[in-house]
Chain A
């Protein structure tokens, strides 16, 4: 399979994102099951973000290609951001509706935990899902055409 520099870069970014944040969310949500989710602080949340940025810089510099972005790359990037936008929008709206419903005295809290720590992690989760959706869509367009 002949992969372009851009496709290799996307696969690397997708792998790093899934590994780093997959591990982090597994830690957080499994700790929630045992009732310790409030032990996660803002600094704990910054760790995977920082780690991902560092790993991305290292991997992208190792993969650094000579080709600059051409019109096809720009079209694929623009088309794929739509999917990421929808994932993020749906997630944020779901959280907003849930929070407002609970705040207005609605009896049913589907989240089961409306603490700021949990809500912030759910928001981060939707951001990451949007990014993953973006990477996967780009890879699909590179393989199948746009």
Chain B
């Protein structure tokens, strides 16, 4: 899945998805849950708290 496709499904910009992947931005809970729902996996499998 491309960043743009994921961004469209979640409702944010492609640059925001890029920033999340590069650890330059921590998304809100709402966006985090939407991302995990897109991939149909639990939140803990997508995001790890260091």
Interface size on A, residues (CB 8 A): 12
**CB proximity to A under 8 Å, residues B1-42:** 11-13, 15-16, 18-19, 22-25, 27-28, 31
Interface of B is mostly: loop
Residue numbers in A under 8 Å from B11 (CB-CB)? 70
**A70/B12 in contact, CB under 8 A:** yes
> Is there a chain B Cβ closer than 8 Å to A67's Cβ?
yes
Interface size on B, residues (CB 8 A): 14
Minimum C-beta distance from A8 to chain B (A): 11
**B13/A72 in contact, CB under 8 A:** yes
Minimum C-beta distance from A76 to chain B (A): 9
**CB proximity to B under 8 Å, residues A50-79:** 67, 70-73
Residue numbers in A under 8 Å from B19 (CB-CB)? 72, 145
Contact with B along A106-146 (1 / 0, CB 8 A): 00000000000000000000000000000000000010111
**B27/A71 in contact, CB under 8 A:** yes
**CB proximity to B under 8 Å, residues A18-76:** 67, 70-73
Interface residues of A (CB under 8 A from B): 2, 4, 6, 67, 70-73, 142, 144-146
